[in-house]
């Protein structure tokens, strides 16, 4: 919570298409704020296939998902975009007119933007946490049960049970252990998918008695319906046991769902946002859709298509942001004005 951030464009999603849009907007003197639910930039490339080679990025015969993201970050550095990671854009409310659009945009972390335009580059939608099938878990959510750590401080002094065997479970175990009252990690078997180095660090903390490791599964919750007192578990021999704790952090992976975008007043077609192919604007003037989230006749869900879409959308964003200025077409190779913006002239 706090003050409202005034800006020209809010980009929803820091996948490859949202990142490259920062570049195209930057060349037109439009500064961007970029919001992503994930704790890191790069969308599907960084989250789903960082080490896989991509073979169809123009000019790169082979580049891995993560290397593409790293290069995009390098390329947009001159425009110093502001990233708001670990936050989901929840609501988008029009507060202007179709000629002079303006939107109030809010994230689930309490950040509020007032912006002239919005570029939805949300890919397959939100990566949402998979919830464990524990009866009554809903009523404990956001008081005792959390699927993501937004602010570490909120967990200081808590008795925490972390469940899972992947990188999120191990990373948060290691990060929260120093500030929590006590951390217990539980996984269904004594074998972890997480990075070996994190697993070693966790085992060292267990060996020195600074945290606990249990093997088993959660079957129920004990408490008053909002404040947790203990978690009921079952071990591999089906014996029940309890872990006293006031905080449960299950990390069971992510699935992709459209999420809150469905409520923003945009036309939708099979969970995609129809856009025109001249400026990639949606049915709401001032809201653009680029990358995997949009649809139009002939659409291909390729990264290179999303790059093109961002370039064209930026032209129309310019009209909203600088209604009095005429835009002249320029090449980065020959325009000293563009080169100045890139810091190379």
Known binding site: residues? 17, 36, 44, 49, 89, 127, 292, 333
Residues 6+ apart with CB under 8 A from 336: 345
Quote the least distance from Cβ 41 to ligand FAD, whole Å.
8
Comparing CB distances to ligand FAD, the nearer of 15 and 286 is: 15
Interior angle at CA 231, CA 228 and CA 234, nearest 5: 170
Residue 82 CB, shortest distance to ligand FAD, in Å, is 14
Q: How far is the CB of 258 from ligand FAD (least distance, A)?
A: 8
Q: How far is the CB of 54 from ligand FAD (least distance, A)?
A: 4
We find the least distance from the C-beta atom of residue 130 to ligand FAD, in angstroms, to be 15
Give the pair of three-digit tokens for residue 180.
């929590």
CB nearer to ligand FAD: give 126 or 184.
126
d(CA 53, CA 58): 14
Q: How far is the CB of 108 from ligand FAD (least distance, A)?
A: 8
Half-sphere exposure of 106 (CA within 13 A, CB side): 12
* Ordered strands of the 240-244 beta sheet: 217-223, 228-234, 240-244
- Let me know: does 70 contact 48? Beta carbons within 8 Å: no
Which amino acids are annotated as binding site for FAD, given as ranges?
17, 36, 44, 49, 89, 127, 292, 333
Cβ distance to ligand FAD smaller for residue 38 or 243: 38
Residue of this chain nearest to ligand FAD (CB atom) = 123
State in angstroms the smallest separation of the CB of 93 from ligand FAD. 14
| Residues 130/251, Cβ–Cβ less than 8 Å | no
> Would you tell me which residues interact with ligand FAD (CB under 6 A)?
12-18, 35-38, 43-45, 48-49, 54, 56, 88-89, 121-127, 259-261, 291-293, 301-304, 306
């Amino acid at each position: 919570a706090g003050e409202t951030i005034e800006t020209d464009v809010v980009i929803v999603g820091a996948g490859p298409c949202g990142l490259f849009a920062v570049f195209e907007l930057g060349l037109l003197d439009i500064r961007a704020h970029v919001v992503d639910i994930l704790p890191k930039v790069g969308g599907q490339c960084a989250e789903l296939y960082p080490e896989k080679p991509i073979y169809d990025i123009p000019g790169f015969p082979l580049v891995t998902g993560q290397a593409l993201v790293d290069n995009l970050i390098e390329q947009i550095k001159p425009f110093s975009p502001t990233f708001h990671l670990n936050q989901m854009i929840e609501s988008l409310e029009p507060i202007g007119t179709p000629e002079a659009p303006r939107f109030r945009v809010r994230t689930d972390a309490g950040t509020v933007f007032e912006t002239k335009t919005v570029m939805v580059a949300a890919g397959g939608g939100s990566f949402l946490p998979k919830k464990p099938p524990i009866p009554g878990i809903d009523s404990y959510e956001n008081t005792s049960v959390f699927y993501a750590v937004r602010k570490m401080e909120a967990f200081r002094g808590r008795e925490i049970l972390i469940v899972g065997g992947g990188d999120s479970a191990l990373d948060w175990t290691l990060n929260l252990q120093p500030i929590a009252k006590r951390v217990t990690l539980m996984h269904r078997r004594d074998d972890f998918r997480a990075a070996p180095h994190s697993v070693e660090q966790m085992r060292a903390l267990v060996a020195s008695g600074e945290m606990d490791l249990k093997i088993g599964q959660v079957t129920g919750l004990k408490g008053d319906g909002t404040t947790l007192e203990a978690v009921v578990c079952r071990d591999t021999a089906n014996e029940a046991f309890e872990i006293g704790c006031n905080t449960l952090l299950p990390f069971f992976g992510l699935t992709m769902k459209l999420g809150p975008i469905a409520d923003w007043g945009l036309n939708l077609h099979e969970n995609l946002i129809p856009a025109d192919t001249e400026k990639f604007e949606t049915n709401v003037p001032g809201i653009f859709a680029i990358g995997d989230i949009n649809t139009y006749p002939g659409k291909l869900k390729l990264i290179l298509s999303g790059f093109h879409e961002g370039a064209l959308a930026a032209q129309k964003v310019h009209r909203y942001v600088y209604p009095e200025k005429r835009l002249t077409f320029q090449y980065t190779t020959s325009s000293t004005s563009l080169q100045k913006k890139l810091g190379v002239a």
